Amino acid sequence: MELLELLHKLVMNQQNGEKLGYIVDFIIDFKTATIQSIILSKNKPIYLFSKHNLLSSSLITIPWQRIVLIGVDVILVDIKN
């Protein structure tokens, strides 16, 4: 699976079924070539010219290790409230 295939996928918390948001970006460690975190927006983004039109206050960062399952349409994460 390529990173671009993960963009805009819905992310849900498996603990309570809460919709957390949609993937809009990644934090990557280029030294190890690994994804460190996914960055979510509560609203599904519509890119007109740039992804920087998202409000940074509405972004959520989730560590990659919290991903439980990557499905066709949804990604499940384990986030304890």
Number of H helices and E strands in the chain, helices first, is 1, 6
Chain position carrying tokens 């805009």 = 8
Pick the CATH number of 3-77 from 2.30.30.240, 1.10.10.10, 3.40.50.880, 2.60.40.1080: 2.30.30.240
Q: What is the pTM of this model?
A: 0.82
pLDDT at 54: 52
Report pLDDT for 17: 94
Strand spans (E) along the chain? 10-13, 19-29, 34-41, 59-63, 67-70, 74-77
User: What are the C-alpha distances in Å from 22 to residues 31, 56, 76?
Assistant: 26, 14, 12
pLDDT in tens, 25-80: 999 999 999 999 999 988 776 554 445 555 555 789 999 999 999 999 999 999 98
